[in-house]
Structure 1
Amino acid sequence: MPVSPTPTRRWLLAALAAALAIPAQAAPRPPLVLAAASLQESMNAAADAWARLGHARPVLSFAASSALARQIQSGAPADLFVSADEPWMDAVDKAGKLAPGTRVAFLGNRLVLAGAAADRRTVPLDRAGPLLAAIGQARLAMADPDAVPAGLYGKAALQKIGAWDRLAPKVVRAENVRAALALVERGAASFGIVYATDARASAKVRIAGIFPAANHPPIRYPVARLKTAASPDAEAFRRFLIGARGKAIFARYGFTPL
């Protein structure tokens, strides 16, 4: 019996179909970019800016960095990969999929606790007590803490303050950080651990607290060109992203240029 494709697989197939559907007379073929879910607004803005310079607009596919990395490891063709952490880029590198000399960590972010916009509570996150009291018997939304970067950062931060063991049974695991944010937006979880840029992108949530940066691994977004890159614009778009104009776009959405 055939197996239905996963949501991530469907997103990637749709992106590939869009890239391959470019008419033969349209040259060059735009880059296909696999990017972390937290980059949706900012990467679309960067793609729009690139198109305004006279280039074909890149085709963008967003999902958890873990899911995208696994797709690349399995041989999925793409031009650029932008991960929300270094370890998943390491995994792709170890699989021999990166074009040598093209990997650059170019963005940073902050990890926050997001609650409903109507919830005006402020929660200190340098110790366990206030967070445990705020959540009580409610649910905490997180990207999968065993695989997805935002979840891994969040788990590390909770372990640092001694809250993980008590909160783990209350965690609602989401496929990616935007899915975790959506759970808070819908009221399915009282709070969610997301990036500051995710909370900023939604009018339905507010930041209840910011995790100390020292309590989790540094949040660093690397980008690299893949060996499967076929678009002649791939390297130029990578350089645009890591250059001054690209970083300025991401800064407008709350990212920290590195």
Structure 2
Amino acid sequence: MMEPDHLDVWGLGDKGMHPHVDVEMENRPYEQIYKAGFSGHTRRRMSPSRGYLAHVRREFTQYMQPARRVILKSVYSLANTEWIYKRFRPVVVVLLRNPYSVCHSIHRKWPDARLKPLASQGGLPSRLLGPHRELLEAAAKPYEILASRLGAYHKVALEAAGRHPEWVVVRHEDLCRDPLRAYEKLIGDIGLDWNESVAGYIRDTNKPKTSDEVQHVNRLSSDEIHKWKMLLSEQEIEDVRRFYRPFDMGFYSEIL
């Protein structure tokens, strides 16, 4: 299922790229959207829109038969994972990817838009801004802003994971390095069944990409680990390193 908290749910207001809802705070529209997702109802693909919630709710609630097992994936919920967990008690997997690849991916998609410095975003907890406010305010270039935002939100998500040892934390690079072994472990950790159908799908898609279409999922996973080195300039790499490293909790210390 596509992200129920996709960027266009919130528009371009002060919620920013990764909206934050305090864990003790009620947010009925956001809760309704996730409730529909976790109930197992599917929806039509959401068309691009800058509308706030009416359009999203209309698109999201095109009900079909409920699913037996629901997996929701979102790249926008880093700051809201604990809020989601408290209300719906899902099995949580925090999937990290190295900051160089993530920053490049965002900048490639939105080279000029949505690069609002994190320090100017409304509704953020003091624990996020306090220790790093000077660094966050100093971020000016695109990769500085992206790296500082990502670092801050990775820290929020990982601090929450530390409070919930039942959550599973995994790195994208570890899945790429040995996909069959790593996915078998991950699937077991979250209580799903590993079988030959799953293994076959991984083998069948672990091959070079032959199309730029979004729906084309083939990737040679080993190439994904260090691809960022060929995509970023030395200056961009340094910008990411300087503005992400202060937030790192040891998951990427070998490349920072």
Bigger share in helix? 2
Fold-level match, TM-score > 0.5?
A: no
TM-score range, shorter chain: under 0.3
1 or 2 for the larger relative contact order (CA 8 Å, sep ≥6)? 1
Bigger share in strand? 1
- TM-score normalised over the length of structure 1: 0.27
- TM-score normalised over the length of structure 2: 0.27
